[in-house]
Amino acid sequence: MKKIVIATQNKGKAKDFETMLAPLGYKVLTLLDVAQDMDVEETGVTFEENAILKAEAVSKALGIPVISDDSGLEIDALNGEPGVYSARYAGAAKSDSANIDKVLEKLNSVPDSERTARFRCVLAISAPGQQTETFSGSCEGAILHERRGDNGFGYDPIFYVPAQEKAMAELEPHEKASISHRGNALRKLSESMPAWLNEEK
Ligand SMILES: O=c1[nH]c(=O)c2ncn([C@@H]3O[C@H](COP(=O)(O)OP(=O)(O)OP(=O)(O)O)[C@@H](O)[C@H]3O)c2[nH]1
Ligand SMILES: [Mg+2]
């Protein structure tokens, strides 16, 4: 089986990648498998900057090709917050539950028509001696008033996907992959760099 390293500590992201890459014959490895103590500081102010920082630092340290993912939720009524700070919105402890509570509280008096939002994802590919490449994807939706569903991670329970008439956390993993910001970015990557996901490594 081919192996691919995703430069992330996030188990929810890892599951999303497994859903998308297992059918292509890949075993997904993350930093939790290959470099548990590697935590790259995300000093960028855009998803793209942070994705590049993570991919290049990990590829350089391990001397192998890697893909990184920087992603987050942009809520229009909050001027794009939490954006690149999505993971740590309610504090450095990175609690999904506290992050959701903070969003629901901030949107408490915001009507349905103004609760539009989107997930964004930027994937960066970095390999020794090669120029780093990035691919972005998004997924439009709206913020619910309460949690729905048990699948996924992060803000999935409060992110309503109009096309499916369900919360992201109510979708099966393969359904999420077919419409998500991460799925859309990965499809662009595989179209633009087919050798990356189709060649034997
Ligand atoms: O409901 C969600 N469904 C998703 O599909 C999703 N994708 C991203 N997010 C949110 O955005 C943060 C990323 O921040 P982020 O890119 O810095 O990742 P992270 O710090 O969690 O892990 P790492 O990859 O950096 O190690 C995550 O923690 C989540 O809060 C999502 N929430
Ligand atoms: Mg992070």
The pLDDT tens digits of the residues spanning 78-119 come to 999 999 999 999 999 999 999 999 999 999 999 999 999 999
Overall pTM surpassing 0.90 (yes/no): yes
Binding site, annotated residues for substrate: 8-13, 71, 153-156, 176, 181-182
CA–CA distances in Å: residue 63 to residues 1, 60, 86, 199: 20, 5, 29, 19
Q: Which of 33, 37, 69, 70 is catalytic?
A: 70
Residue ranges making up the domain that contains 31: 2-198
Domain tally, the chain: 1
What residues line ligand 1, using a CB cutoff of 6 Å?
8-10, 13, 42, 69-73, 86-87, 99, 119, 152-156, 159, 180, 182
Residues of the chain with pLDDT under 70: 198-201
> Which H or E run contains 188?
helix 181-192
* Known catalytic residue at 70: yes
Looking at residue 16, which CATH number applies to its domain? 3.90.950.10
Amino acid 135: pLDDT = 98
The tens digit of pLDDT for each residue in 132-142 reads 999 999 999 99
Residue tagged 């081919």 (tokens): 2
> Which H or E run contains 11?
helix 11-21
Query: Ligand 1, atom 10: nearest CA belongs to which residue?
Result: 72
Classify residue 93 by burial, with Cβ atoms within 10 Å: 0-12, 13-18, 19+.
exposed
Q: Are strands 26-30 and 116-126 parallel, antiparallel or unpaired?
A: unpaired
